[in-house]
Structure formats: structure tokens, C-alpha cells
Structure 1
Amino acid sequence: MSNWSTLLQSDDYLGVKKYLKEGADVNEKSEHGESVVSQALRLRCSDELLELLVASGADLFDADDEGVSVFDVAITYNNPMMVQKMIDEGIDVNETRRTSGFTPLMAAVCYNRKAIVEMLMSNGANTAIKDKLGLTGADYARKTHRKQMLGLLGEEEGA
């Protein structure tokens, strides 16, 4: 994974293209189970490099050892292009692999990702889903003082 890390840290599109041509595994994982595409998202690589990884077969439905999916990483690191691409590829906007039950909508609310919350909502995000603590996306909006998020979720501040 160190070759991948070096290339991704420098957002080296041509280097990644060459590495792939040499037979690199686009779905290689780090010691913690993080995929190449998740690492690229976390390092805020260019959309062009991300598209190259996807075109080369990067698994957009992958998750790390903690259940954090590529979708979760795209939301956390505010990449609406990749979020939409994964929705277009058929990702379930309500699915979570996290043992806590923390959903993509909850993450988007906590990180104050307005455009992504709107995208999730328009693609069927269920605002009534509760995590293992019994909290909904609106509960997280209240806890993190995200009044604008409450409005997007169709909730009132005091409710």
C-alpha cells in the first residue's frame, strides 16, 4: 500500500495511471482495511484521479474493518460528485455497515454537508432510522446545533 500512499498523497494522476498499467491492484487495502479509493477521498485527490480509480475497477461498495464505507468517506470528505456517482451505481443511501448504526444521512448532518443531505433526501434517505443509541439524523442535528439541517430534514428545532 505504500506505493499507493505515495502516489495518492501527491495526487499523481500520471503516476497512478502508470502504476495501474503495471498491474497494481486498485482494490488493495491498507493494514486497517482502508481501500485505495477511500484513501484517495480522504486525501482529497482530484476528481480526475478518482474517476481513473473508478474506471479501473475500484470497488465503490467496499468498507473498512470498522464498517466505514467508501460512501461514508465521500460524505465525510465532502465529495458530492462521488456521492452522486455511488447513488447512480445503486448504493442504498440508508445502508450502514457500522456496528453503531450511524447512517450516511447522520454523517452528512453531523458534518454539515447541506448539498449531500439534499442529495440523500432526494434519493430516498429515511429520516426515521435510528442508530444503536436510538438517535435519528434530526437528533444529531440538534446535538451538533445544526439548525439548517433540521430544516432540511423537515424538523423543528425544539421538537
Structure 2
Amino acid sequence: MKLKGFLLIVSVLVSGFAFSQQNIFDAARFGTIDDVKELIAKNPDTINVVDASGYSPLTLACYRGNDKVAIFLASKVEDIDGESKYGTPLMAAVYKNREAVVKVLLEHGADPNLADANGTSPLHYAIIMRNKTIIKQLVEANADTSTKDNRGNTAIDYANMTQDEEIINLIVK
């Protein structure tokens, strides 16, 4: 009986310890800046790795809406575009309507003209999402309005589909 109790306690301690060991991808999704700083202290290059699915920590932070971590990572990563088959961090921030993150990524040199595997650019997504603030940010960052996606549509085509004069005017100015 004592052995069973001992084994139960050990298994709880081991599982608790294993759970507390956070990796950079978990920290990007759900963690804090302090979590990321702790991981960087152990391995400075940890923020530049890509997971088995092709995501960088910055891209994950953008997709998960972990704005504070995304903004922190934007100034630290080697490749702000961190391009993968799932798009760039900028694309993730645009897709998730994270205006503050989009602003910071662009300030750190994110390329607004990189497209995903479907040829869809951040500007295409911003128009599809009808986010006028992000559309304006991308246009001001010299996003190309004439780039075609795999369907053959440009940002101007998508703007016209919205039938929103303000969006159309932001694109065709």
C-alpha cells in the first residue's frame, strides 16, 4: 500500500514538472513576455525555430492573438516575415484583425506583399475581413494592389466586391 501511495505521489510530481516545462511554441500561443524571456535566456535562438507544422513562434503568437508576446517577438526575431506555407506573421495578424500587431510588424519591416500558398496577400485578407484600419496600414506600407491571388483577383477586385466606397477609395487612390 505504501508503494502505491509513493508511486502516486511521484507520478503527480513528475507530471506537474513536465507540464510546467514550457516550450517556445506554447509560450507564443498562451504565455507571457516573461515566459519568452526565460526561454530566450536558456537558448537565445529559440525564438527563431519553426515547429513541425511550419509555424514560427511569432506567427503562432499572431494567430492566437497573444499581442504582447507578438509585439515583443517582432523586435527580437531574425526574420520578421518568418515565411511558411501558412503565410507570414503579418498575414496571421491581418487575418486575426490584430491592428496593433500589424502596425508593429510593418514598423519592423514586415513585407506586405508576401502571399500564402493560395496567392492571397495580407491586403487581400484585410479587404475580405473589411478592416479599414489595417487596409490603410498596408496601403501606406506600399502593399501592391494589383497582385493577383490564385483565383485571379486583385485587391482592387476584392474591394469592388465589398461595395464599400470607403474600402474602394482606400485601394484605388
Aligned to 2:49: 28
Aligned to 1:68: 87
**1:13-56, Cα deviation, whole Å (9 max, x unpaired):** 22221111111610121211100011111111132x22332343
TM-score computed with the length of structure 1 as normaliser: 0.78
Aligned to 1:92: 111
Whether 1:38 aligns to 2:53 is no
1:91 and 1:53, CA in 2 relative to 1: closer, same or farther beyond 3 A?
closer
Whether 1:53 aligns to 2:84 is no
1:91 Cα offset (Å): 3.4
- Count matched residues: 150
Greater gyration radius: 2
- Gap runs ≥5 in structure 1: none
Whether 1:121 aligns to 2:139 is yes
AA aligned to 1:60 is I
Identity of aligned residues (%): 21
Aligned to 1:112: 130
1:99 Cα offset (Å): 3.6
- Gap runs ≥5 in structure 2: 1-21
Aligned to 1:132: 150
CA contact (8 A) 1:127 1:137 kept: yes
Aligned Cα RMSD in Å?
Answer: 2.4
Structure ranking higher in helix proportion: 2
1:142 Cα offset (Å): 4.4
Aligned to 2:8: none
Aligned to 1:154: 172
AA aligned to 1:71 is L
**1:67-108, Cα deviation, whole Å (9 max, x unpaired):** 511121121122233323333333332232x34321221111
AA aligned to 1:125 is A
